[in-house]
Amino acid sequence: MTTPVRLRDVTLRDGLQLTGKLLDTDTKVRLARVLLDAGIDELEIGAMARPDLVPPMANTLEVIKVLTPEERQRCWVWTATPRGIARAVEAGAQNLEYCLSVSDAHNRANVGRTTAQSMAVLPEAVDIAALGGARLQLTLATAFTCPYRGAVDPQRVVDLVGDSRTAGITSVALCDTLGQATPDQVRQLISRVREVAPEHEIVFHGHDTWGLGVANTMAAIQAGAAMVDGALGGLGGCPFAPGASGNTSTEDLLFALQPSWLTPAVFSDIVTAGGQILARLGEPNRSRAAEGARSTTDVFPWVT
């Protein structure tokens, strides 16, 4: 790709949250460092979610504290309340996602309030992040479809992004939470959001439920997305979105994008790291690129 784009690996947040298994802090930090050292641009390392509802996120604050300030500059923490932002900033987080759902029904299921109620406290979230010297991203879940109400009106997304209360955020993430979007829908929505908020960087967060994760991500990049999300082995899904399966695979995105820093040897290291963490979790590896890398041919340099 000639268009510059950053890849954010979300294994340690969105990837883990459906597994029900808590990885210890050392294991999470080791994986984060493997990915950062390999060249992955940015990471999502955890969430300020209730540990009784999302047990794999219980040690997020410990992970933040162990990472160095330089590492934290490339790491993101998911939040849904100003209080969560304050706790993450206090622990040292420098990049925060404030998440709400475009769909009221999903927002109630996910964070226990309406979309309007989440928007009402966005200015407070912006202020807390600013005082802590942190960047704040507005993350819009169910930007395409809702598991409870079906298709989401794109105008609702545009209205949320264009709301005056988004002043102070640095970027907007559009999430295909259920993996039901098509490349044309992704392209059109990102183009509309860019028109209404040209000052905000756009992030695309895709899932591969219907097999279009990579295609949708490429469409997002062509439409102007500056950062895209993936998870090792296609791990992940939302615990409050019935029917949502894994994220678009980091390995598949890397093979499709082939950034300048990616060599066959580095790719092999990332494929290996993904295989090891999935085996530890007892989860299947859904990455087609990881499968291809295990081919027995010896004439293709990306075979590991």
Q: How much is the average pLDDT of 59-76? A: 98
> Tens digit of pLDDT for each residue in 194-227?
999 999 999 999 999 999 999 999 999 999 999 9
Q: Which of 106-131 are b and which e, b meaning 16 or more Cβ less than 10 Å from the residue's Cβ? A: bbbbbbebebeebbebbeebbebbee
Helix H or strand E segment including 118: helix 115-120
Q: What is the pLDDT of residue 295?
A: 85
Q: How much is the average pLDDT of 273-296? A: 94
Rounded-to-integer distance, Cα 228 and Cα 230, Å? 7
Q: What is the pLDDT of residue 297?
A: 78
On whether the CB atoms of residues 46 and 84 are closer than 8 A, the answer is no
Q: What is the pLDDT of residue 163?
A: 96
Q: What is the pLDDT of residue 211?
A: 95
Q: How much is the average pLDDT of 264-280? A: 96
Q: What is the residue whose two structure tokens read 């087609």?
A: 288
Q: How much is the average pLDDT of 55-84? A: 97
Rounded-to-integer distance, Cα 128 and Cα 134, Å? 9
Instruction: Tell whether the model's pLDDT for residue 1 goes beyond 70.
Output: no
Q: What are phi and psi of 225, to 5 degrees?
A: -65, 135
Going from the N-terminus, what domains does the chain have, and what CATH number goes with each?
6-262 (3.20.20.70)
CA R_g for the chain: 18
Residue 75, helix vs strand vs coil? strand
On whether the CB atoms of residues 46 and 63 are closer than 8 A, the answer is yes
Q: What is the pLDDT of residue 73?
A: 98
> Tens digit of pLDDT for each residue in 114-143?
999 999 999 999 999 999 999 999 999 999
Rounded-to-integer distance, Cα 182 and Cα 247, Å? 15
Q: What is the pLDDT of residue 241?
A: 65
> Tens digit of pLDDT for each residue in 143-178?
999 999 999 999 999 999 999 999 999 999 999 999
> Tens digit of pLDDT for each residue in 32-53?
999 999 999 999 999 999 998 8
Instruction: Tell whether the model's pLDDT for residue 237 goes beyond 90.
Output: no
Q: What is the pLDDT of residue 249?
A: 98
> Tens digit of pLDDT for each residue in 191-201?
999 999 999 99
Instruction: Tell whether the model's pLDDT for residue 242 goes beyond 90.
Output: no
On whether the CB atoms of residues 92 and 65 are closer than 8 A, the answer is yes
* pLDDT above 70 as % of the chain: 97
